Amino acid sequence: MSAKLSAKYVAAAVVAMAAAWSIGGSAAISRGAQALNQPAPTMTVVVDETQAARRIAFVHEEIQVKPGTLALAYPKWIPGDHGPIGPIEELAAIRVRAGNTALPWTRDPDDIYKFQVDVPAGTEKVSVDFDTLLENTISDHQLLLEWSTVLLYPLGIDKRELMVRPSILLPANWKPGSSLHMTAESGNRVDFAPLSIERLVDSPVLAGEFFRVIPLKTSWPAEMDVTGDSQEAVDKADDAHAVSLFTKLVEQDRAMFGFRHWETMHFLISQSAADPYDGLEHEDSPWDGIDDAGLSKKDELERLGFPVLAHEQAHSWDGKYRRPAELYSKTDFQGPERTTLLWVYEGLTEYIGEVLATRAGFEDAAYFRDFRGQATANLMNETGRASSALVDTATDNWVMRNAGPEWSSQRRGQDYYDEGALIWLRADVIIRERSHGRLSLDDFVRSFLGQRDTGPIVVPYTREDVENALSAILPYDWHQFFETRVYEVNQEPLTADLEAAGWRLTYNDTPNPERYWDKPGNYHASYSIGMDLDKDGKIYHVVPNTPAYEAGLGPDMTVVAVNGRAYSSDVLNEAITHPRDGKISVMARNFDSVQQYEIRYSGGVRYPHLMQIPGSHDYLSEIVAPRSVE
């Protein structure tokens, strides 16, 4: 990252924040007046999604140009994805024209995301047509248009200043939901007001054949834009009181952050078995993909309350409004960017999401404790913590996002989420304890992420900014606190952070509730014999230095029999519960070989849970208790 460029962006963001309209007062500035102050669009983009069910879209752009070399780019580093993973492989059939004249184009052999076009003399505008394949379709009844997948844009113009006029063509009778300002609707075409390409990429469109807008009766303007694969799915969206939960979530947002950076919060929620667990943050339109008719299922709302529904919208403050300067150092979407501060961007949001979801009622305090205990137990099974610092999981995050569970204990995963959340829990306890209950992490969140009402802008920060903001709330050696937990190899027992909050990690034979990462039929034995299996007996995770590991078992082997009986999760569970002379005999297939393995174990079935430490201060219950808006 260029220090000079980063400083420029910080300065520009401060100027933008000072000039931004206040939602509480200056929001009265009319959109028409704002439009008068905006430069004419450099480009228009029309996305034809009428064939969404066939997973293909047709894009037409008109771009203002000057004669000479035109450099076009397909977005590579997508905000929220934290890596160079723009789906360039789905870009096809590129055609460029000046009037009726076809213009040849060439791809940069050193950067396949960039294209060059020679624009002839006298040309003021070129048209660009191409197809986008396999992207944005959720099902044959709904789509989520992520604009970054349908743009070839001119390089050399700051992303905050490159103005785009967007439009979309939808299948017949489909309706859109978005935070974009609609200017016209004719037939199946919807036109939106011009905006910067930065804001466009941050403003997806959720559309569907079955669509419903649910206004929320909240003190801050908010609504749920809901799609589904049937009319029943959207009609019954409130059968499990989802509307009340999202209403409470917005109120708990206000109690925590104090200020907002958007005009209206649009919760974009798709319901489909084709995309049952997904999501991406956007400043005023977070998208959550949940199971078919998921809003009407109490257990689905509980299961996805904080990892998706509360998490993505909390990013409006942590990640969108306040963003690491190293992740906001470029004037375009081509990168590269640095991701070492994801322990703040994602780790703090993970913690905030857990707290907000519990305060709003998606889960209760017992569920929160059980999840935090299980997440901690999973981290304690990671032998990779003995050699890799937490910051390394952030630095190589986009590679780890594509890694499977095989040998994940050795390589570590995206631990900046769960271990990051545990670190922020400890910070919260320190503030509460040392201030004798007068202050909490909420005070830091309000001062650092809330600050004041603004429009949707980005205010970058550094690690030093985070530590100084914490010190302003409570004087403490926050630099050393994060140095030992994030930037150095930390082999200290993570249970100490839970114990500081008044709870001890323990194990018993009660299975944990189903989590968002679970698949039907999975059997978790990593806390006992040291391996996890899918419904067919295929091992997908083995913990080093456990009985299963010592027996010679490894990932991708398939258990076919246990103690002479055909494999099932019940058979394995019985063998773990009542081992014969401390031994479990396993027959497993590995490639084309079948072999007998002997697991030496006599500890019984074990699952992680939290138990309150007698006589301790129960900080966890205090933390997740709902707050009132002052």
* The pLDDT value given to residue 5: 33
Burial class for 96, CB neighbours closer than 10 Å (0-12, 13-18, 19+): buried
Residues 6+ apart with CB under 8 A from 58: 47, 48, 51, 129, 131, 132
Return the exposure string of 295-329: e unless at least 16 CB atoms fall within 10 Å of the residue's CB, then b: bbbeebbbbbbbbbbbbbbbbbbbbbbbbbbbbbb
Strands 265-271 and 222-228, how do they pair?
A: parallel
Q: Work out the angle between the directed axes of helices 415-434 and 365-380 (0-180°, nearest 10).
A: 120
Beta strand segments in 146-221, E: 153-154, 163-169, 175-177, 182-186, 189-192, 195-196, 205-208, 210-216
- Beta bridge partners of residue 434, listed in sequence order: none
- Beta bridge partners of residue 533, listed in sequence order: 523, 539
Instruction: HSE, CB side, 13 Å, CA atoms: give it for residue 257.
Output: 28
* The pLDDT value given to residue 37: 58
Q: How far is Cα 368 from Cα 621, in angstroms, rounded to an integer?
A: 10
Beta strand segments in 535-606, E: 539-542, 558-562, 565-566, 583-590, 593-600
DSSP structure class, residue 412: -
Low-confidence ranges of the chain (pLDDT < 70): 1-39, 630
* The pLDDT value given to residue 30: 33
Q: Kindly report the length of the chain.
A: 630
* The pLDDT value given to residue 492: 83
Q: How far is Cα 518 from Cα 45, in angstroms, rounded to an integer?
A: 40
Q: In Å, how far are 208, 438, 469, 615 from 443, measured between CA atoms?
A: 40, 10, 10, 27
Residue 324: enclosing H or E segment and its boundaries? strand 322-324
**CATH number of the structural domain 523-605:** 2.30.42.10
* The pLDDT value given to residue 4: 31
Cis peptide before 120 (omega within 30 of 0): no
Token pair belonging to 387: 């050699």
Instruction: HSE, CB side, 13 Å, CA atoms: give it for residue 337.
Output: 30
Strands 277-280 and 265-271, how do they pair?
A: unpaired
Number of H helices, E strands in the chain: 21, 33
Q: How far is Cα 305 from Cα 356, in angstroms, rounded to an integer?
A: 9
Burial class for 515, CB neighbours closer than 10 Å (0-12, 13-18, 19+): middle
Strands 565-566 and 163-169, how do they pair?
A: unpaired
* The pLDDT value given to residue 38: 60
DSSP structure class, residue 97: E
- Same fold for the domain at 38-206 and the one at 342-494? no
Q: What angle do CA 201, 202, 205 make, to 5 degrees?
A: 85
342-494 CATH, one of 1.20.58.220, 3.40.50.2300, 1.10.390.10, 1.10.10.60? 1.10.390.10
Q: Is residue 224 a contact partner of residue 177, using CB atoms and an 8 Å limit?
A: no
Strands 91-98 and 125-133, how do they pair?
A: antiparallel
Structural domain 38-206, CATH architecture = Sandwich (2.60)
* The pLDDT value given to residue 493: 87
Q: Is residue 494 a contact partner of residue 419, using CB atoms and an 8 Å limit?
A: yes
Nearest Cα neighbor of 553 from 365, 431, 372, 406 is: 406
Find the largest Cα–Cα distance for the chain: 88
209-316 CATH, one of 3.40.190.10, 3.60.150.10, 1.10.390.10, 1.10.287.470? 1.10.390.10
Residues 6+ apart with CB under 8 A from 478: 427, 466, 467, 470, 471
Q: How far is Cα 420 from Cα 311, in angstroms, rounded to an integer?
A: 14
Q: How far is Cα 420 from Cα 350, in angstroms, rounded to an integer?
A: 8
- Estimate to the nearest angstrom the gap between the alpha carbon of 575 and the chain centroid: 39
Listing DSSP states for 8-34 in one string gives HHHHHHHHHHHHSPPTTTGGGS-HHHH
* The pLDDT value given to residue 28: 30
Q: How far is Cα 373 from Cα 351, in angstroms, rounded to an integer?
A: 13
* The pLDDT value given to residue 491: 80
pTM above 0.85, yes or no: yes
* The pLDDT value given to residue 39: 66
Q: Is residue 610 a contact partner of residue 503, using CB atoms and an 8 Å limit?
A: yes
- List the chain domain ranges: 38-206, 209-316, 342-494, 523-605
Neighbours of 546 (CB within 10 A): 22
